[in-house]
Structure formats: structure tokens, C-alpha cells
Chains A and B, each alone.
Chain A
Amino acid sequence: MISIRNIVKQYSGHRALDDVSIEIEQGKVFGLLGPNGAGKTSLIRIINQITAPDSGEVLMNGQKLGQEHVSRIGYLPEERGLYKKMEIGEQILYFAQLKGLSKADARARAKYWFEKMQITGWWNKKVEDLSKGMQQKVQFVSTVLHEPELLILDEPFTGFDPVNAELIKNEILELNKKGATIIFSTHRMESVEELCDSIALLNLSHKILDGKMKDIRNNNRTGTYILKYEGAALLPSATQPFSILSDTELDGGRQLTLRINAGNKVNDVLHYMLPLATINALEEIVPTMNEIFIQTVSKAR
């Protein structure tokens, strides 16, 4: 769907993006991650044709990005922007028309979305009279009104209460199910785990990690397990197929956190442990995206 190829973006004094290439598949939810100042916004702006790269190119369905693609992209910027003194209905129609919708079409679709988001009564209200969360809803509607093939959402959940965040999340997933590709930029890793199929991690203008979520999490497995057992505390020994990270007493039994030695399997752990203790549970600790994020970024530094 989107091929980002060798993008370089130079600002006076620093390089915001350095030879960044990313592939985004049709119909997937793609997470664009990275610490502050990594270059996410610069990249998003380039995909939106707000700025142009110094070198490299962005292809959409194999075509070089141009004005004709504007109407097929919906963009929800991190910093919300609406005209404060303009009525909401008018504003929604204006943005939709700028995206190429006819006024009548825009009106019909706006009605549909207003009902869906339970904001029908707001049509004639001014933005300055709304709370921040309400403004977010309006902005979300204006982003999706023209039914874009590609939705770029920069921190879509900030400012929402849990109920509305859930509402927005479900809308995003529904749009995705209907075929929209979604680029999702956020710092909240739990929502990345929940929503994303693939991710790319930017740090200091470079892409330092990308791929399918599943693969990334697998690759970042460290062979760490939690083993709950009953019996005497384990004594370290040379024949042990794992190293002990911790061993504590817990609810009458014991809890052992171990890391399997290279070359050994889970079965080896069980073999070793069976004669020594009664095993109640064995569970792998798969690193969270949060951990992967912190680890990868700090390693890169």
C-alpha cells in the first residue's frame, strides 16, 4: 500500500530522517513508534505531503505520491486543529470539501457520523464552547468523513475518557475491517499491542526496528520463564540447564524466575526440575512492547 523508500529529510542543523525505508501492507494496522524527536512527525508529514523529503520517495499503490492521493488519505494530527470560532457542522463540511467531497455528500455522511458518535446536537455549536474530549470527537469525524483508504492517526486516544477511547478504538477497528489501512503513531505501547499488526521503530532519525508484531516479540524472547513449585529452595548447580534470576517464597510455595541457557529447551528445564520439586506452573515471560521499546532504544544509544 505505502512504500517509503530511502527518505532523507534535513532541517537546518539536524537531520530529521536519515535513509528511512518502510513498507506498509494493505489493510493492516501499522504502528509507527519512537521516542520524542525520533522523526515520526516528520515522516507523517511527508506521507501527508505537508512537507517534501530532500531525497527518497513515497509510493502509494505503486504510484508516486501526488495531489490526487490527498483525497484518499485521512490525517488526525497529534495537535488537534479546528477553527475556534467556526460552527462545527460548517467546519466538518469545509474540511470534507477540501478533501474533494461535494457539499451534499459531505452533509449526508456528516449526519451519519454525528449520529454514530452521539454528537447530533452539536452541529451549530462553536468549537470554543466544547471540551477538549468533545473537540477530539469532532476532529476524528472530520478525519474519516471522506472514507480514506489510508488513515494516519497520531496519538488518537489522548484527551479521551476510557469510554470514549473505547468508542474510538472500535471505530478504528471497524474502519480497518472495511479495508482501510491505518498508520498509528503513539507512545502508549499497550494500545500498540492491542491494535497493530506490524510496527516500525524510529530512533534518532533512523529506523532501528520493523516487522510483524508477532515476529518482533518472538525475536525479543529472552528465554525467561516463571516456574511455580513446591519443595525446598533450589540450590545452584553446574548441571542446571538455566540460570536463576530469582527464587522467592510465594503463597506457601516458591516462585522461580529463570533464563534457559542457550541450546537448552523448556523440556530440559522440566527434566531437571521434576525429581527436585512438585511443579505447579510454568509460564514464559514474553517481553511487552513497552520493554522491547525501551530495550531497543537504549541499546541504540
Chain B
Amino acid sequence: MNKIWLIIQREYLSRVKKKSFLVMTFLVPVLFIGVFGLAGYLVANQNEFGDKKTVQVVDESGMFTNKLRNGNNIEYSYSTQSYATEKAAFAKSGRTYLLHIPASLTDVQLYSEKKASALTIQNIETELSDIAQTSRLLTAGIDTAMLTKARKPINVEARQITETGEKDAQTYVAYAIGFVSAMLIYMSLFIYGAQVMRGVIEEKVSRVVEVIISSVKPFQLMMGKILGIGMVGLTQFVLWILLSLILSTAGGALLMHSNTPSAPMQMSQMQHAASPAAAMAAAGQTPDPNMTKVMHSLQSIPVTYTVCCFLFYFLFGYMLYSAVFASVGSAVDNETETQQFMLPITLPLVFTLIISMNFVIHNPDSSLSVWLSMIPFTSPIAMMMRIPFGVPGWQLALSAFFLVAGFLLTTWVASRIYRVGILMYGKKASYKELIKWFMYKE
């Protein structure tokens, strides 16, 4: 036990003392916020970045002339000439589109040299329908005030009702937290797992392993490495969480005072809430009532509970996968040879992430979601996606139990391959070989 502790210490300190660790710890959140902010900004302002499209309208119905609204990247001009003349002149006119509206309003056509973009077609359709609708209603004798009133949109507020009372459902916030934490787990499994693998290869290639194995058991070395690097990961996450809390408190304080004119940031809450910090940072510039609401719901989520679950699923998911990573590292002589063994690791992770993002997040309580959050190889990602939506205690407990059991089993299998692999040089390992190694007796 004492020796494992020594190994953990070495693995931990040798990584934490590196400059790259500090850089990662402080730069990643900044980058993260930056990337989300930029993406949000681009999405919100996408109209400004597109080319200006010009549409020549030949309106035979007379209903639309001078009524179509110019958008950021679309500009309408109206022709007094006949459709046939315009059509003949179109190719040379330099305009992007030619819109032909027959008097009957059926068979409206949009011509262009290149294929028209779906978005543009949709925009024009909406615009036309809107105007047509209004004008039809007016013709029917409904006055404008009535019309505006009738058009008022209705917002749905999702609320949860349980035995203990009712509260805001905060669906968007749950969505964001699930999305971000599942993504973080996915990335960190790869990042830290690969570190374990690289560490094993380094020891094998430099032959340090032979010296160490003459002092400790292979299993101790493997576990020491996995735990040491796991603690590096935990340290990093705890630092990130602390940083986020500090930033969000600061951001919150800023929000109370700031009255900066609303920046054009109409990002969805989902993107905003990438992390509380991101939300706060962005919110600092956008003090509109919606954002304040999001902030409120962010403050009311069970932070401790979510963070604890996250750390648990990160830690055990990481240990499970890194044991596999370690055995892969032990089977090869250099990093390029790892390719052939990476598929069984990558496949379940990528599969889970895709399913989680496209299915689990929309159906957190469906049986597929529950199953995925039970299987140890998929549960770290799938369960983190579900947790913000509320997971029954027994499911959480069962999933945690399976994950720990899965970790123990995987580690046992991996360590049997590892103990043989680290002493094999120059031999190209195949899956068949790995099975043989596994079967070797002590």
C-alpha cells in the first residue's frame, strides 16, 4: 500500500509541477468561454456575415409590392416589367434571385443561377405567407389592432410538481448542464486515459519498468499510475469549478450594476449556460429579463449534488477506461502501434456520446436511456446527461454500483494483460496474443 502511495505521488507531482498543467488549468476555461462566446456571437449575427442577396420581384398579384421587408442579407427590388422580359434579362442582371408571383398566388417560383439556399427559400416563404395572411384577414374585415392582439405569442413555462411542492422545471438549464458535463466526461476520459497509456509506453520503452517491477508488483504500478493521473484530473476539475464559482460570483455582482446596452447576443440559453461562469460572463453584457431568469435558475440548481455526481462518474469512468488504456499501452512498443487496439475504447464512447446528445437528452427517462446509464462502459456519459433532469435514487445507486463493479472487473482483466505486456519487447501483439497473456498464470 505504501508503495502504491509512492507511485501515486510521483505520477501526480511530476504532472502537476509541469508548466503545461498550469497553462491548461487557467487557459482552458478562458478558451471554453471564448469559443462558446464566439460561436454564440456568430450564430446571433449570422445575417451580417452572409453575402447580400438581391431578389428581383415580379409581382403579378400586386399584393406584395413594397411590402417585403429587406433583411440583413436579403434585399428586394420590384419590377414593373413583365415576367417574360425579366426572365430573359435575368442572367445578365447580376441579381441573385428572380421571384415570380403569379396573380393566383399558386405556383410562385424562385429562379437563380446557382441552387437557392434552403434558408433563403424559407425566409421568402415565411415573408410571403405572412403578408398574404395579413392581407387576407384585412380583406375579411378584421382590423389591425385585433390582428396584433391575435398574433401575440404564448410562452410555455415548464414547472415540475412533486410531493414536496412545485418548482421551475428549468428544462433549458438541465439541457445545458447535461450536455456540457457529458461532453466534459467524454473529453476527459480520452485526455487522461491517453495520458495513462503514454505513461505506460514511456516506462516500457525506457525500460524503467524492469527496475520498478523488481520492487513492486505490476498491479501496484498500474494502479498507482491510474490513481495518480486520476488525481491530476480531479485537481484540474476542482480548480476549474472553483474558478467558475469565483468568476460567476464576480459576474453576478457585475450584472447587478452594469447597464451596458444589450450586445447583440441572442444566443440560446443552452449555449450560454455552457458553464455557470460562461453564462455569467455573457450575462454581464446582456441584462435582459430572460437572462436574469436563466441566472436565477442557474443559482437554484443543486450545485453540490451535480458536482459530486460529476466527480464520481468522471473518476470511476476514467479509472475503468484508463485500465484498458494501460493494457493497450503495455501491449505496444510505441504510440503509433496503439491504433489497432483503440477501436474497442473509442467505439463505446463515441456511440454513447452520439446517442446521449441526440436521444438521451430529449428522453432522459426512456428505457434506452436508463439502460445506457446502467452499463459501466456507457454510464459515465449517459448518466451525466440524465442527472440534471432528475434521476431516481435507486437508479443512481444501481448505476454507481455497476460502474464500480465494472471498474474492478476491467482492472482485473487489464492488469493480467499489463503484467505480461510490459515485459514483452519487439513482439507485435495481436488480440489473440492478448488473450494468451490474459491466460498466463501468475
A residues adjacent to B (C-beta < 8 A): 12, 45, 48-52, 54, 67, 70, 73, 75, 77, 79-86, 94-95, 97-99, 139, 142
Q: Are B207 and A79 in touch, CB under 8 angstroms?
A: yes
Does B209 count as interface, using CB distance less than 8 angstroms? Answer: yes
Interface hits, B1-45 → A, CB 8 Å: 3, 6-7, 10, 14
Q: How many A-B residue pairs have CB under 8 A?
A: 63
**Chain A neighbourhood of B433, CB < 8 A:** 12
- Which one of B59-67, B178-186, B212-220 is at the interface? B212-220
B161 at the interface (CB under 8 A from A): no
Report the nearest B residue to A73, measured CB to CB: B214
Q: Decide if B207 touches A49 in the complex (CB within 8 Å).
A: no
The residues of A that contact B423 with a CB separation of less than 8 Å are 45, 50-51
In contact, B14 and A81 (Cβ under 8 angstroms): no
Q: Is the CB of B14 within 8 A of A86?
A: yes
Q: How far apart are the CA atoms of A75 and B203 in the complex, in Å? A: 17
Residues of A within 8 A of B212 (CB): 95, 98
Asked if B84 is at the interface (CB within 8 A of a chain A CB), the reply is no
Of the candidates A73, A81, A82, the one having the most CB atoms from chain B within 10 angstroms of its own CB is A81
B206, CB-defined interface residue at 8 Å = yes
User: Can you name the residue of chain B whose Cβ is closest to the Cβ of A50?
Assistant: B213
Q: Known interface pairs A51-B423, A94-B6, A94-B10. Does A81 touch B207 (Cβ–Cβ under 8 Å)?
A: yes
Docked Cα-Cα span, A77 to B433, in Å, equals 26
Which of A12, A49, A85 gathers the greatest number of chain B CB atoms within 10 Å?
A12
Chain B residue with minimal CB distance to A146? B215
Q: A85-B14, A86-B14 are in contact. Are A79 and B215 (CB under 8 A)?
A: no
Beyond A81-B209, A95-B215, A97-B6, 4 additional contacts (C-beta under 8 Å) are A12-B436, A52-B441, A70-B216, A81-B210
Shortest distance between the CB of A278 and any CB in chain B (Å)? 61
Q: In the complex the two chains form, is B206's CB within 8 Å of A83's CB?
A: yes
Q: A50-B214, A50-B423, A73-B214 are in contact. Are A98 and B6 (CB under 8 A)?
A: yes
Bound form: Cα–Cα A113–B14 in Å = 25
27 A–B contacts, CB within 8 A, in A order:
A45-B423, A48-B213, A50-B213, A50-B214, A50-B423, A51-B423, A52-B441, A73-B214, A75-B210, A75-B214, A77-B207, A77-B210, A77-B214, A79-B207, A79-B210, A81-B208, A82-B206, A83-B14, A83-B202, A83-B206, A86-B14, A94-B6, A95-B211, A98-B6, A98-B212, A99-B215, A142-B211
A residues near B436, Cβ cutoff 8 Å: 12
Which residues of the partner chain A approach B213 to less than 8 Å between Cβ atoms?
A: 48, 50
Given A12-B436, A77-B211: A98 and B206 interface contact (C-beta under 8 Å): no
Query: How far is it, in angstroms, between the C-alpha of A85 and the C-alpha of B215 when the chains are bound?
Result: 21
Contact with A along B189-210 (1 / 0, CB 8 A): 0000000000000110011111
Contacts of A73 in B (CB 8 A): 214
Assess whether B215 is in contact with A81, with CB atoms less than 8 Å apart.
no
Q: Is B6 in contact with A81, judged by CB distance below 8 angstroms?
A: no
CB distance from B416 to the nearest CB of A (A): 13
Decide if B207 touches A48 in the complex (CB within 8 Å): no
Give the residues in chain A near B216, CB-CB below 8 Å.
70, 98
> In the bound complex, how far is the Cα of B214 from the Cα of A86, in angstroms?
20
Chain A residues with CB under 8 Å of B214's CB are 48-50, 70, 73, 75, 77
Residues in chain A near residue B6, CB distance under 8 A: 94, 97-98
Given contacts A85-B14, A86-B14, contact A80 B215 (CB under 8 A): no
CA distance A98 to B423 in the complex (A): 19
Contact A52 B442 (CB under 8 A): yes
Q: How far is the CA of A97 from the CA of B2 in the complex (A)?
A: 10
Binding site for A on B (CB under 8 A): 3, 6-7, 10, 14, 202-203, 206-217, 423, 433, 436, 441-442
Name the A residues within 8 Å of B206 (CB-CB). Answer: 81-84
Within 8 Å CB of B215, what residues of A?
Answer: 70, 95, 98-99
CB distance from A57 to the nearest CB of B (A): 14
Task: Give A49 Cβ to nearest chain B Cβ, in Å.
Answer: 7
Which A residues are CB-close (under 8 A) to B442? 52
**Most-contacted residue by chain A among B203, B207, B209, B436 (CB, 10 A):** B207
Contact of A82 among B7, B10, B14, B208 (CB under 8 A): B208
Q: Hey, which chain B residues are within 8 Å of A86, CB to CB? A: 14
A84 vs B207: C-alpha distance when bound (angstroms): 11
> How far, in whole Å, are A79 and B14 apart by their CA atoms in the complex?
23
Which A residues are CB-close (under 8 A) to B210? 45, 50, 75, 77, 79, 81
Asked whether, in the complex, the Cβ of A75 is within 8 Å of the Cβ of B211, the reply is yes
- Report the bound CA distance from A49 to B211 in whole Å: 11
Question: Which residues of chain A come closer than 8 Å to B208, judged between CB atoms?
Answer: 81-83
Chain B contacts of A95 at CB under 8 A?
211-212, 215
- Complex Cα–Cα for A85 and B209 (A): 15
Instruction: State the CA gap A79–B208 with chains docked (Å).
Output: 9
Instruction: Give A16 Cβ to nearest chain B Cβ, in Å.
Output: 12
Q: Which residue of chain A is the closest to B213 with respect to CB atoms?
A: A50
| A70 CA to B202 CA, complexed, in Å | 24
Smallest Cβ distance from A64 to chain B, in angstroms? 14
A70 to chain B, nearest CB (A): 6
The chain A residue with its CB closest to the CB of B212 is: A98
Closest to A77 in B: B210
A174–B156 Cα distance when bound, in Å, is 87
Chain A contacts for B441, CB-based, 8 A: 52, 54
Shortest B419–chain A CB gap in Å is 8
Q: What chain A residues lie within 8 Å of B207 (beta carbons)?
A: 77, 79-81
Contacts of A142 in B (CB 8 A): 211
Chain A to chain B: the 6 pairs with minimum beta-carbon distance, closest first: A81-B207, A81-B208, A98-B215, A79-B207, A48-B214, A75-B214
CB-defined contacts of A48 to chain B, threshold 8 Å:
213-214
In Å, the complex CA distance between A70 and B209 comes to 15
Report Cα–Cα, A70/B441, bound state, in Å.
21
Closest to B204 in A: A81
Q: Which A residues are CB-close (under 8 A) to B7? A: 98
Q: How far is the CB of A110 from chain B (nearest CB, A)?
A: 16
B198 to chain A, nearest CB (A): 12
Docked Cα-Cα span, A224 to B48, in Å, equals 101
Q: For the complex, give the distance between the alpha carbons of A111 and B14 in Å.
A: 22
- Name the residue of chain A whose CB is nearest to the CB of B217: A67
Q: Closest chain B residue to A98 by CB distance?
A: B215
